[in-house]
Amino acid sequence: MIDHTHDPAALSWVASANDPATDFPLQNLPFCRFRCAGTLEPWRVGVGIGDQILDLSAWGIDDLNALMARPSIERRALRHRLFDTLKAGAPEVPLVPQAQAEFTRPCRIGDYTDFYTGIHHARAVGRLFRPDNPLLPNYQWVPIGYHGRSSSIVVSGTPLRRPKGQVKPPDAEVPVFKPSARIDCELELGLFVGPGNALGEPFSIDEADEHAFGLTLLNDWSARDIQPWEYQPLGPFLAKNFGTTISPWIVTMEALAPFRIPFTRPAEDPQPLPYLDSPAHRANAAFDIALEVWLKTPAMAEPACISQSNLRHAYWSLAQMLTHHASNGCNLQPGDLLGTGTISGPAPEEAGSLLELTAGGKLPLTLPNGEQRTFLQDGDQLGLRAYAEKPGFRRIGFGACDGVILPAT
């Protein structure tokens, strides 16, 4: 579905959208919800263009979930209309500077499921928790996920309190309740569901794209000292649900069309079961999206990049996540959020969490100013960034996904 809206030569009458470094050129057009900062105005649906926002309230669009529920053909028609409105030579319309806006979650998030699609992360974490059995036998057969807490999903820039929880050191007879000392990040993308499916009615792998609306950056904060004591036998709980940060922007699947790549598995690995496989899926179901982790301590003037990875390393595709989630008849709804899980690459410097980067806290990171970190301290700011670029197309980005850790109450 590559069309004229992906033309790299197309320019906008919004000058900042033509900057090669912008996340939001004319070829992107991500959605958000915003209002003028310092006001109690109703939240409005907007589209990012350069450093500005096009307010869609005048277009009769005041509910992004309703837009997400529309068929993809209607969403593409809206993209074409937005493109034609903002391209060079079109009549100018009023815009709101992003610097004068505040943002909230881009839509109503009814349910949140976090998957575990990064096999390099799964192996690295497995070695720490289960040295003799790092990758559980079901991992290469079924997309693993857990049901998260949608109410604690916050937008970029929202501070998070250091959580308290039960911690049981290996040499202790009983656990203690105390603030977590091992706060970690997880480098993820989040997939927003578009049109849903009725309860009891799954869909095929080749129908999955119709149910995908767009992607956002996602940081699934984790308390690594609470996690190992509580996660067996039912999985993640308080170590995860104290906060999940997302970018305020949703980059649509239409904008990402040029950055699709073939989905492949190593020949020696189990191949997906038929309900998660098809020739069309193998042809273009993966995405080439660069991912970065940035850390800034209170003593640093500028943040430092501590990791770089890519969505191409995911073991399960976005379409497989959607298809498997609905395969038992589960009814997905517009605005539901599916996290990818931590997307780490094969090299040590491509790890998407501090747990991996520091070998479980044994090898501290040395930052440019000489400070060291194993896990996050109070006042540390952790940021995620992502962008897609390819010869012959404009680079597009995902905006900021930042959070700072505050002391425990």
Task: Tell whether 116 is in a known binding site.
Answer: yes
288-332 pLDDT tens trace: 999 999 999 999 999 999 999 999 999 999 999 999 999 999 999
What angle is formed at CA 351 by the lines to CA 348 and CA 356, rounded to 5 degrees? 85
In the chain, where are the structural domains located?
4-104, 112-406
Task: Tell whether 356 is in a known binding site.
Answer: no
Kindly name the residue from 6, 120, 121, 281 that is annotated as catalytic. Answer: 121
pLDDT at residue 129 in the model: 78
What pTM does this model have? 0.97
Rounded Cα distance between 181 and 176, Å, is: 13
CATH class of 4-104: mainly beta
**E strand residue ranges, 301-406:** 304-310, 337-339, 365-366, 372-373, 381-388, 396-397, 401-406
Task: Tell whether 315 is in a known binding site.
Answer: no
pLDDT at residue 1 in the model: 86
pLDDT at residue 170 in the model: 86
Q: Are 8 and 68 in contact (CB under 8 A)?
A: no
% of the chain with per-residue pLDDT over 90: 95
- What one-character DSSP code corresponds to residue 314? B
pLDDT at residue 132 in the model: 81
Task: Tell whether 79 is in a known binding site.
Answer: no
Task: Tell whether 231 is in a known binding site.
Answer: yes
Q: Are 375 and 131 in contact (CB under 8 A)?
A: no
CATH class of 112-406: alpha beta
Task: Tell whether 220 is in a known binding site.
Answer: yes
Total count of residues recorded for the chain: 409
Q: What is the chain's mean pLDDT, rounded?
A: 97
Rounded Cα distance between 223 and 26, Å, is: 39
pLDDT at residue 232 in the model: 85
Fold match flag (4-104 vs 112-406) = no
Task: Tell whether 188 is in a known binding site.
Answer: yes
Task: Tell whether 130 is in a known binding site.
Answer: yes
Residues of the chain with pLDDT under 70: none
Task: Tell whether 387 is in a known binding site.
Answer: no
Task: Tell whether 146 is in a known binding site.
Answer: no
182-192 pLDDT tens trace: 999 999 999 99
**200-238: burial string, b at 16+ Cβ within 10 Å, e else:** eebbebeebbebbbbbbbbbbbbbbbbbeebbeeeebeb
pLDDT at residue 4 in the model: 98
Strands 153-155 and 96-97, sheet pairing: unpaired
Active site residue 325: no
State the alpha helices, DSSP H only, in 185-308: 227-230, 279-284
